Amino acid sequence: MTERQTEMDSRGARFDPEVRSWIRNVIVPAMVREYIAEHGSPNSLAEPIAPVPKCEANGRLSAEGIQ
């Protein structure tokens, strides 16, 4: 067992197994749901790609037409 594993085991040993189970089964899923609600789709890579507007190279650049 590595030093890191030993350290992690000692940290986890501070919690009762029922508390660890509650954290794993209640708290973590609630936090994931909250994160998804705040940041959008859980699988944002699967969303369709939006087209990029074409740039007119011969026109003048101006912010007046931007809405």
Q: Is the pTM of this model over 0.85?
A: no
Which of 24, 2, 28 lies closest to 15 in space, CA to CA?
24
Question: Which percentage of the chain shows pLDDT scores above 90?
Answer: 15
Count the residues in the chain. Answer: 67
One-letter amino acid at 19 equals V
Which of 28, 32, 50 lies closest to 42 in space, CA to CA?
32
Per the model's pLDDT, the better-predicted residue between 59 and 22 turns out to be 22
d(CA 56, CA 61) in angstroms, rounded, equals 9
| Cα 42 versus chain centre, distance | 8
The pLDDT of residue 27 is: 93
